[in-house]
Structure 1
Amino acid sequence: MKHHVRQSLFVSCALIATPVWAQQSTGKDREPAPVGAHQAKPAKQSFTTGVAKGRDMLDSAISASTLDESEIQKTSTRSIAEILSNIPGIRAETAGTDGMTAVTIRGLPLSADGSKFLQVQEDGLPVLEFGDIHFGSTTAFLRADLSLAQVQAIRGGSASTFASNSPGGIVNFISKTGEETGGTLQLSSGIDHELGRADFNYGAKLSDSVRFNIGGYYRQGEGPRAAGYDAFKGGQVKFNITKTFGSGYVRLYAKLLDDREPNYGLVPVQVTGTNENPSYAPLPGFDPRRDTMSSRYIPSFLALDRNNNPHRIDVHEGNRAQVKSIGLEAQFDVAGWTFSNRLRYAQISGTYNENLPVITLPAAILPIAFGAGPGTTARFASGPNTGQSIGNPATLNGNGLLARGLYINSDFNRLNNVTNDFRASRVWQAGSAKITTTAGLYASSQDIGMMWTFLSPITDVAPGGNSHLVDLIAPNGSPVTDTGMLFYSLQLGPSSYHQYYDVNYRTLAPYGSVNYQLGGLSLGASLRYDFGKVTGAVYGGDLGGGRASTTATDLNRDGVISPAESLTGWLPLSRPGPVDYDYGYASYSVGANYRVADAFSVFARYSRGGRASAERVLFPPSLNASTGQLTDPALRNSPVKQAEVGAKFRRDGLSLFVTGFWASTTDKNYQIAADATGNTVVLPIDRAYSAKGVELEALVERGPLSLRLGATYTKAKIDSDKADATAVGNTPRHQPDLMFQAMPQYQSRLFSIGANILGTTSSFAQDSNLLKQPGYVIVSPFLQVRPVDRIQLGLNVYNVFDKLAFVQVGSAAVPAGGVANAQVMNGRTITGSVRFSF
């Protein structure tokens, strides 16, 4: 069936003979040109993402932003999530890599990782149909390099009707298409860390009507945090070729991505003080800004694969993304109509690896707590000291700590998708008014084939990528662990989470819009209906019905079943749980814009969209493991309502956009959280949320000086909670009142100098609203010098003041032991570069 769906979409595209829609490209064939060197947002040219037709922002009833490639170069990061942090209204939780990220918009909730309500696109089509596939964030399969021309973001507005599963907004990463002949080669290297990178891009015309662009990057090195090995390794190549005609164009494009990066997840930090006024600091001998739980001495683990055969998981693979995609897009004018179609097939796979220190205790106590009681001792199980006892636990690594870990491996053997978007538009003249009508049909097929493996190792907490596996030895001399493994499964609660998913999501969505423009007044409305079909099977002991989660397995083939091997996670392959259900929901948006004067306009809009549930609802109690149906129809999608009103001003080097917004949603989900002791827990949630606030975006340009500003003030709350009434009225976790961005800079022919500044006020670590999570201001200066024509020297300093900036804190209260898990941003990181243009 999946093959037939893909085949029918390709055939339909061929029969239409109107290749794909270029609403978000940047070619000259009716496509907006890239933003200039310091033409920061708000953009002066037409905005085309998530709307029917590109218009000047002052004529559009939307709140939107753009960033161009030259601006991104100055942010001191290539992380997709950190790029999103530079857009007002978007909250991106990331520690500098894209494997473990969480992204949301306008106060909508973050239940776990991913981007549930915000869709991330590449060249106008979604990277993944669902942004919150567990451990498979959309940002993990997207990279920014010199082939990127522009990033466009729409918040709310018509995003819910011009794309599926995007009720909060859309961010679109747009590639260069060879409009300008010439190329760029950039070599960069860490000055205070080991990471080298080469980027290139080249575009040219093959004839008056044919042009191409090719670009990509390769990088390798340990990275800004100590791992003890090359944690970054890989790159991508992107290519497109465009043929223009008198009435349109055709474009073919392809991408090959194979890249791995470390998982900068939660690590132990010291927490003292009170919940209202906590004090956070690095542990002795372990700085979360520069150290990780990754280690040269922990290269692999044994486990069972999806066929229940022993295999070895490569821990050093980290978070790996592999993408092979090919696409076709075109646009033609025929008899007054503009027909467009875009099609892409993407073969996506990869892995997610994380070592989470679930419980961190003094090295003298942990062996007793997880071993055979008093008298249990510890010894190294990996590295050069393998077999040696830990002589003085109190001085181990300067902090005297051991961690009962949770190792997570998610194998994405298949996240393939095929998407097709066809639309037709026409502008009608009605006296002195213009009426623009658009009709479209979107179809997609998204596979989710992945397996989770959870293991329970014991490790020390060492700096410099030197952590070891640690064995616990009972008083009688018998081993409690097996080469540092307490269990070859998860044994922290009733569920093992050793699960395998083999499901397919098919979406069919007709949509349409109409816009009436008379003078300075524009009135618009759009409508979409999403039909969805979910089929397949899931496997795991969590399905119940006598299915076992663990079994005894001689993983290391030594002829003996160790205590750890007696609890090995396995899959009940003979008893899958069927998945077979449909869903459907309507989305609509209505708005009005009035251009009061050439430099000033006002707008208002109300929208209702939806987000279909992905794999997070595919185990009991959400799924009936006998019928494949969801146990509650409300689980099928989460509705989002939004209202916004705004004003826009632009004149003589000054742009000022202000938007007030209100948003609400309901969410039935599972949340990875932490209790008051810092232990990781999985909580079922059934909630309603609301948020209101104001977004501000400004650009001031005075000769060589410019200042780009952005700020978002948000008041969000939990309106209802069927599982926990004490949460009602609380602020959702990690939601600050204020987030802001600023980029002051001075530019001349010889050099550019400035800084990218990101900040946020404090928030709550968990929904219980007890422990405060501190805010931060990250200052990242940059310098670009052009000593001769076509050569540019660059220096970027990320987090120049070495701020200990917290992304999330994994505890609901100050823990009694004074140690909590936290995800933090990178410390001071200096990178130098040289760019050659030709």
Structure 2
Amino acid sequence: MDRHRRFGLIGVVLLSTASPALAQEAQRTSAEAENYTEIVVTAVARGRDRLDSAISTSSLKADDIQKAAPRSVAEIFRTLPGIRSESSGGEGNANISIRGLPIASGGAKFLQLQEDGLPVLEFGDITFGNADIFLRADLNLAQVESIRGGSASTFASNSPGGVINMISKTGETEGGAVQASTGLDYKDYRLDFDYGAKLTDSVRFHMGGFYRQGTGPRRIGYDGNKGGQFKFNVTKDFTGGHIRLYGKFLDDRAVGYLPMPVRVTGTNANPTYQDLASFRSNRDQLLTPNFTRNVTLDGNNNLVTDDVRDGQHPLVKAIGFEAETLLAGWTVTDRFRFSEISGRFISNFPANVDAAGTIATSMGGAGATLAYASGPNTGKAITNLAALNGNGLLAQIVVFDTKLNSLNNMTNDLRASRVYPLGSGKLTTTVGFYKSRQTVDTDWLWTSILTDVRGEGEAALVNVRRANGTAVTQDGFYGYSAAYFGGCCRRSYRVDYNVNAPFASLNYQQGQLSIGASLRYDFGDADGSIAGADLGGGRVGTTSRDINGDGVISDAETRVAVIPLTSPAPVNYSYHYWSYSTGINYRFVDYMSVFARYSRGARANADRLLFGPAVSTTTGNLVSRSAAVDFVNQAELGAKYRRGGLTLNLTGFWARTEEQNYEATRQVFIDRTYRAYGLEFDGGYRNGPFSLMTGATWTHSRIVADALNPGVVGNTPRRQAQLIFQATPQYDIGRAAIGASIVGTTSSYAQDNNQLKLPGFTQVNAFAQYRPLPKLLVSLNANNLFNVRGFTEAEEGAIPANGIVRARSINGRTISTSVRIDF
């Protein structure tokens, strides 16, 4: 019996065992659906019904997220309409954008990720510290809410594109659960729990977390995923408000997946992507137990050995509170959080992949020889280079060893709202002040190694010797620096970013009409210092040093990177800007409304502005004042419908975006302007046990100006597909449920030169659930059921002569099962 038939049979069995009585109980009548109200609370002045709001929003409930069993928060985000979430980096390091806004480097520059209404990090694209690295979804999660465009410009800093808010349970419903999960075709073991209850009539709490261990979805040969999270909150309710204390502890290691080699044939416009022999692009990485110790110099130029198995290692200790009360007719709300954040990002990035003979000659000259430097064949000569591992390839690897000394974040959002009767309507006024302080204290400690190209965690280091027998490499290391990148990027920076923002809004509602406007004034500064040879001015970044202590300076030991600590450059500048948003909403009838909105917001640039031409290396001031801030202007026109079991939302959008950025892997600075317009649709349908959630976004995006590379003007921004879509059909009869989560994209260009295309793909995730007892739930989940290779990015802009492209694919098929006990 083939696999597809087995999955179908499982679903039939689960459905056939559910009783007709439970099926009838699961029916929702039209009358119940007519009274349904959806309240929006993220990035707005006050909670408001979605049909009364001149903004585009959507939400995902915890039960729906659990059914889909996402392998990362990025996989949750990609099911939200309008969100482009490239979920190929593992459990963090995703590139996330919205409605055609660019992903010129990495992370989520124009989109803010929040937990319980406050940002995880002030800037979502800190290099090697993307905000999603510090987020985990578990049983604490009540829902995920998003806002695209609209008032995100004025009710949050540095988020003109939108906000995604992960909202925690707070103990309103007494009870909890314990859930054990395991991978069936991959090694992963996880235990989740949560519990909430009332302590008194006015005091309630919720707590929960998880611990897991395993290799993760890719075959790397060691437990790359290991760690867990614990969260809690305690709420005291009183007349007119509440106060809540909450905390979070996260200590988790997750593999960081980077672009890997794949063979591409055909033409740039119509390419065919193929796996290499001995290496599967959606299951393998050039990570291996044969190389776990990265020998390098730390941020103080002292010899250290770092563990490559740390991967993405976030360490977060957070404490905060939320308070709301009535004061002289005003509803006053204050949210505060302090997060002590540190960790590491370390993974292997292929700077070049080519035929073994070609690389041997380029490194050691004619007649160079190769031998294994690690693994079971250590010391063994490699003689048949063309047949090596069936693909004949070697990879020149730069180890992205980055120490996150501190990404500490303090945030406070204070606001007060009051509703005044005015004529036959009501006027809602809101004023507030936002304050945050974000530290970015990071060391880049990169090295260069040489490995063969082999999957299943079996890759090994390789040594090169010249024809005369002298060693080019040392234990597989070509240099204790980013030697393959010309020795660049040995960096250390310690900068504090202060953000301050008073804001205010007015919203007048009379009958079916609502008109609103909001204003925000952001002012801030950056203060600190940076060190690195990239700064020029005679700063030396490479030296010779006896790394292995044998008293001899080898060839590799002449390529040792050091940080010029005695000649740092200051960072000392300030910025300010205004944001505004205005909108109108008209609710024709109870079940339908239309809206229009225009907004201007901005994003202050953070660490990606450093080491570039925008900041003076002598004064620390901005060379150009405009470099500190990138503006986004947006217009929206939409219609919303909600009646019975049917919900439909359609929004037309237009955006003009400024972008100044730096991409670490290609060492490219960017200074350009984009324009995008399109249509965004999302909807849902429910009829008895059947339900469907669906969405699609069509985008037309172009580069309209480029100060550094005018040749790309008129091109489509890289990785921007014309159409992205998602659908979640399910059939739920109470005791049993089956369904799928489908996400897809049309083709896009790998780079801004608009030559090599990334093929479109559709990924199907399937689930089945069964309750043999009222409080016992058994689930089966298949992620990427049909094992597609979906490439989200590629380093090359055109097919190279050797046909090897470095690209990053979504994970291959993984099947997991879980058992949950509710109590």
Q: TM-score, normalised by structure 2?
A: 0.95
Q: Give the deviation of 1:405 after TM superposition.
A: 1.3
Are residue 700 (structure 1) and residue 692 (structure 2) matched?
Answer: no
Decide which moves more: 182-191 or 388-397: 388-397
1:99 Cα shift?
3.1
Secondary structure of 2:339's aligned partner = strand
How far 1:230 moved relative to its partner?
Answer: 0.4
> Is residue 518 from structure 1 mapped to residue 503 from structure 2 by the alignment?
no
What is residue 48 of structure 1 aligned with on the other side? 41
Q: Measure, in 1, the Cα distance between the counterparts of 2:624 and 2:561.
A: 29
Residues 767-786 of structure 1 aligned to structure 2 (within 5 Å): 767-786=752-771
Q: Summarize the Cα distance change of 1:366–1:121 in structure 2 as closer, same or farther, 3 Å threshold.
A: same
Q: CA RMSD in A?
A: 1.5
Corresponding residue for 1:384?
Answer: 376
Q: Describe the SS at the equivalent of 2:215.
A: strand
1:431-453 CA distance string (max 9 Å, x none)? 31100000000001110000112
Q: Which residue of 2 aligns with 1:455?
A: 447
Q: After the TM superposition, which residues 245-260 of structure 1 pair with which residues of structure 2 at under 5 Å, given as runs? A: 245-260=238-253
Contact 1:99 1:352 in 2 (8 A): no
* Offset, 1:94: 2.2
Q: Is the 8 A contact 2:154 2:520 kept in 1?
A: yes
Q: Distance in 1 between matches of 2:151 and 2:734?
A: 40
1:814 correspondence with 2:806: no
Residues 567-615 of structure 1 show CA distances to partners (whole Å, capped at 9, x for unaligned) of 1111111111100000001000000000011111000000000100001
Contact 2:74 2:92 in 1 (8 A): no
Whether the aligned pair in 2 keeps the contact of 1:104 and 1:116 (CA below 8 Å) is yes
Select the residue among 680, 699, 707 that pairs with 1:714: 699
CA distance in 2, matches of 1:690, 1:170: 20
Report deviation, 1:425.
0.4
Q: Which of 311, 314, 317 is equivalent to 1:321?
A: 314
How far, CA to CA, are the matches of 2:725 and 2:586 in structure 1? 28
Distance in structure 2 (CA, Å) of the matches to 1:122 and 1:527: 24
2:637 to 628, 632, 645: 645
| Alignment match, 1:434 | 426
Paired residue for 1:181, among 126, 149, 174?
174
Aligned mates of 1:457, 1:44 — CA distance in 2: 58
AA aligned to 2:647 is S
Using the TM superposition, give the Cα deviation of residue 113 of structure 1 relative to its aligned residue in structure 2, in angstroms: 1.2
Give the match for residue 661 of structure 2.
669
Match of 2:334? 341
Change (3 A) 1:413 1:150: same
Aligned equivalents of 2:513, 2:563: Cα separation in 1? 61
Aligned with residue 554 of structure 2, among 548, 556, 562: 562
1:271-318 Cα offsets, whole Å, 9 max, x none, are 011011111010011001111111010011111111111000111111
Q: Is the contact made by 1:199 and 1:215 (CA closer than 8 Å) also made in structure 2?
A: yes
The CA deviation string for residues 398-444 of structure 1, in whole angstroms up to 9 with x for no partner, is 21111111111111010001100101100001131100000000001
Structure 2 residue 362 is matched with structure 1 residue 356: no
1:574 maps to: 566
Distance 2:716 2:585 in 1: 33
Q: 2:269 aligns with which of 270, 276, 289?
A: 276
Q: 1:654 to 1:197 in 2, by over 3 A?
A: same
Contact 1:397 1:463 in 2 (8 A): no
2:89–2:258: 8 Å Cα contact kept in structure 1?
no
1:151-190 alignment, distance < 5 Å:
151-190=144-183
Question: Retained in 2: the 8 A contact 1:744–1:755?
Answer: yes
**Aligned pairs for 1:462-611 within 5 A:** 462-493=454-485, 496-611=488-603
Give the equivalent residue in structure 1 for 2:618.
626
Counterpart of 1:161 in 2: which secondary structure? helix
Instruction: Indicate if the aligned counterparts of 2:641 and 2:647 stay in contact, CA closer than 8 A.
Output: yes
- The answer on 1:143 being equivalent to 2:136 is yes
Residue matched to 1:285: 278
Match of 1:752 among 714, 729, 737: 737
Q: Is the 8 A contact 2:189 2:213 kept in 1?
A: yes
- SS of match in other structure, 2:771: strand
Tell me the equivalent position of 1:57.
50
Counterparts of 1:118-267 in structure 2, within 5 Å, are 118-267=111-260
1:326: how far off? 0.1
CA–CA distance in 2 between the matches of 1:255 and 1:658? Answer: 37
SS of match in other structure, 2:360: helix
One-letter code of the match for 2:573?
A: Y
Once the two structures are TM-superposed, the CA of residue 770 in structure 1 deviates from its matched residue by 0.5
Q: Deviation at 1:96?
A: 5.5
Amino acid at match of 1:637: V
CA distance in 1 between partners of 2:371 and 2:486 (Å): 30
Given that 1:744 and 1:756 are in contact with CA atoms closer than 8 Å, whether structure 2 keeps it comes out as yes
Question: What secondary structure, in the 3-state scheme, does the structure 2 residue paired with 1:726 have?
Answer: helix
Distance in 2, Cα, partners of 1:239 & 1:195 = 25
The answer as to whether partners of 2:718 and 2:754 remain within 8 angstroms in 1 is yes
Q: Does 1:689 align with 2:674?
A: yes
Per the alignment, residue 444 of structure 1 pairs with 436
| Alignment-derived partner of residue 405 in structure 2 | 413
Given the alignment of the two structures, is residue 655 of structure 1 paired with residue 655 of structure 2, yes or no?
Answer: no
Letter matched to residue 351 of structure 2:
V
Quote the sequence identity (%). 51
Please point out which of 411, 416, 420 is paired with 1:424: 416
- Secondary structure in 2 matching 1:583: strand
Cα distance in 1 for partners of 2:84, 2:387 equals 40
| Partner AA of 2:457 in structure 1 | G
The letter for the 2-side match of 1:322 is: L
Counterpart amino acid of residue 296 in structure 2: A
**Aligned-partner Cα distance in 1 for 2:358–2:712:** 34
Q: 1:294 aligns with which of 272, 287, 291?
A: 287
- 8 A Cα contact 1:454 1:496, kept in partner: no
Cα deviation for residue 492 of structure 1 reads 4.0
Task: Measure the CA separation in 2 of the matches of 1:623 and 1:511.
Answer: 29
Which segments of 5 or more consecutive residues in structure 1 lack a partner in the other structure?
A: 1-34, 673-679
Closer/same/farther in 2, CA of residues 43 and 692 from structure 1, 3 Å limit: farther
Instruction: Give the secondary structure class of the aligned counterpart of 1:681.
Output: coil
8 A Cα contact 1:495 1:542, kept in partner: no
In 1, Cα distance between equivalents of 2:468 and 2:160: 61
Q: Which moved more, 1:599-608 or 1:348-357?
A: 348-357
Q: One-letter code of the match for 1:466?
A: E
Would you say the 8 A contact 1:43–1:65 is kept in 2?
no
Contact 2:41–2:48 (Cα < 8 Å) also in 1: yes
Looking at structure 1, the residues matched to 457 and 589 of structure 2 have their Cα atoms a distance apart, in angstroms, of 60
d(CA) in 2 for partners of 1:685, 1:431: 52
* 1:85 paired residue number: 78
